[in-house]
Amino acid sequence: MKFKDKVALVTGGGRDIGRAVSLRLAAEGAKVAINYCNDRASAEATAREIEAAGGTAAVFQADVSKADQVATLVAGVQAKFGDRIHVLVNLAGGMVARRKLEEMDEAFYDQVMDLNLKSVFLVTRAVKPLMGGGGAIVNVSSLAGRDGGGPGASLYATSKGALMTLTRAWAKEFGPEGIRVNAVCPGLIGTSFHDIFSKPEGRAAVAANTPLRREGHPDEVADAIAYLASDEARFLTGVNLDVNGGLGFS
């Protein structure tokens, strides 16, 4: 029970990788605050699954790219679970759409960057004072942040690359307060993200070029996040951990 008596906030925690993270942290004893923006049904289903297994969870709606909604979210978590948040997983994000430069406008730029980067800034700024003299933050970046992403993903990749840099910067800034900041950088993981944005033949080609010859599973990302959030990783900070089956290194 690595997270017994601890409170964890997982943004985007209701489905896919977020669901797997919420379930894993709860199974290890955490009281899990599951944030969602639009998909309430998935968030509630994840919370019910946690409770059915004997864990504790609650769902909280918020668009985490909006400062006022983040403030309401954090206040709600405090009202439900108390004034301390021990673990923050910044997972909310997305590509929005695949677009070439000439297909982008300023509104699209703002939408992608706000969703993937501003949201992390806002939530971390709100949660950090509640971490006291310790705590763990795990950001969710992407292999795209290292290699520039696939066709039409330049802004998504840029936002995820910036998140990797922010992780390293905050690790240095927050370290004296005992707060660790790390990130995971998933490769091809079998989620609805790729169901929406990736063609089946493209996914098959990427899997074939991965040294482990398959897509990853959300549980495998959740395992890495749980490790980085736990005391087992107590001397790790500023790490951007690749969870990609060796993709990009072969």
Question: Which parts of the chain are beta strand (E)?
Answer: 7-10, 31-36, 56-61, 87-90, 135-140, 179-186, 240-243
Distance CA 14, CA 47 (A): 8
User: What 3-state DSSP class applies to 249?
Assistant: coil
Residue with tokens 């763990």: 136
Distance CA 230, CA 212 (A): 27
Query: Exactly one of 36, 109, 156, 227 is catalytic; which is it?
Result: 156
CA angle 23, 136, 11 (to 5 degrees): 50
Active site residue 156: yes
Q: Give the full edge-to-edge strand order of the sheet including 56-61.
A: 56-61, 31-36, 7-10, 87-90, 135-140, 179-186, 240-243
Instruction: Enumerate the active-site residues.
Output: 156
